[in-house]
Structure 1
Amino acid sequence: MLVNPLLQPRTFTAAELAGGLNRTIHRIKGTQAPDVNNGQPVTAGLTLGAFDAIILLADHIAAPSTTRPYIQPNGVISADAFGAFPSTAPGSRIEIYGSNLSATTRAWSGADFSGSSAPTSLDGVSVTVGGRPTYVAYISPGQVNAVVPSDAPLGQVGVVVSGPAGVSDAYIVMVEALRPGLLAPPSFQASGKQYAAALFPDGQTFVLPSGAIPGVPSRPAKPGETIILYGIGFGPVTPNVPAGTLVGQLNSLSNPFQMFFGSTAATLAYYGLAPNLTGLYQFNVVVPNVADSATVPLTFSLAGQGGTQTLYIAVQR
């Protein structure tokens, strides 16, 4: 109850209304007070008339101050540049957003690896998915990136961030057997189209309409040229390479895979985990003989299922 026992009106400050008691339930007396409707929020600057009183209910109790890691709503996605899906897959990469996730900011380096095995913690920060330790690639106060382990259980599981400041509450995420996405960062949007970040073998020039993105070397691809795309979440490979391992041998996707330019299937020179990297798939694709266009639809099929991204690529003879 909030009471003004004075002979004149009194205005209550935000500090005096602290504690989360900020919703009017019933006015006991109000002949001199301004209008305050029953059930309406009041947080500061509330004036009560002489001898007036109202009953307040906790409408919002502020969360206690804490330095524990906190994962925000919608705070776990597959890597943003690869589709930013709300679900993930074993061996894929996830991004975790929130606060107090880490006291330091850095990515993993060669010194963090043990032989070919990626680190499961950086500066004391670790992540589990379904109780299984992940491979931590990047840490910062507001974002942590990790590679999902091969043995992550499928279905709805908890993601937990642990560190020197404590342990987060579990954030529930769906782990699917496959959750494929091609590298197509938001910065590769041009003329209202989302382009895949396909590279020529020089490793510097991207497959885009010439000059489509200022500062990005680019040109359309020609039929017969080989271009390189990257992805995450494409599932197991043969021979097997466990998640969190630097890839030291050539391999190929275990599930049937095709890539299409429009409705035309492309020849695949390589489709597996990228050599000398961790958790990243590489596709060396021979551009098929399709009509010139700055917006050729680029799609794929994995294990009989089509991808969910809407992507384009530029082809010109």
Structure 2
Amino acid sequence: MSPATPEQEGGQAPPALMPLLRGLEDLKRIRSAQLPGSIAERLFAQAWSALAAGAHPADAARHMVRQALAATVLGDLDADLLGLAGVPEEPAHGIVQATVEAASAPLAPALRAWLLDAPAPVQRGNPPPFVARLAAQPRAGATAPGRGRLILDPPESHAEHCALVAVFGVLLAPTWGARPETVFLAGLAHHFHNALLPDSGFAGEMALGEWLTPVMARATALALDELAPDLRAATEAACRILPDATTPEGRTFHAADTLDRVLQVEAQLRAAGTSMAFVLREMELVHAGPVKPFQDAVLARMGLAA
């Protein structure tokens, strides 16, 4: 039997996951008054904090993905915050678990069972310094040699992108039989160079010519220097999957990276092109309740009814 072509391998991507991936993509844009940054930025920082404190990448991955799944519905409402608002511990944890169960429904059965198995808490330490720099470093947008940049505002950060690639990688791992913890760690680390280098995009990279490889290698090494020896070795090992899509882990990573880059733009284009009819009818911005007839009348009188 001849080996599968790249087109055949890519054709295994699971369309059933698209609604979930789109929901996870929104974690780059959800913020809360009492917390800094977006949910995606904080998931990135928490993952590196756990890894720096000695957590196994598989444990850090499970915690991060569970939090991400819950946040697609609950946003920043977690069990601790619900407890502060008066919800007892057991029902508060039940709300979060039920949300994870519902969000994980389209996943491969073995992966879903692993995620739903209540994990032991992971210890967290101080995140490496590169975490804050990647959170502050904007992505370039779409660039191509000889063309102007296409910048969709607001830009995402490299921390947000890496967080979503890591989460997507875990969810896509069963498709190509990849080790999820390897793809997870590579996803978290694949933009280490941007902790030093502002993002000039594809056009800027091409302009560097022969200097591109040594410049990126030096910038990556500076970020790796901020990790303890064991974590550095594990991260370097995981990142060996990055150059190509010839391994299960490489295919999974590049699928996750590509989907996140395209879904980021899709989300911004979708928001820009949304109609009032869609927001009012499909999204039920003015939703059912005892005062809805009054609200609808106000909108109709003011010319805002869809």
Considering the TM-score relative to the shorter chain, is it more than 0.5? no
For the superposition of Structure 1 and Structure 2, which TM-score range results when normalised by the shorter chain? under 0.3
Alignment TM-score, normalising by the size of structure 2? 0.22
Task: Return the structure number with greater relative CO, CA threshold 8 A, min gap 6.
Answer: 2
Larger helix fraction of residues: 2
Larger strand fraction of residues: 1
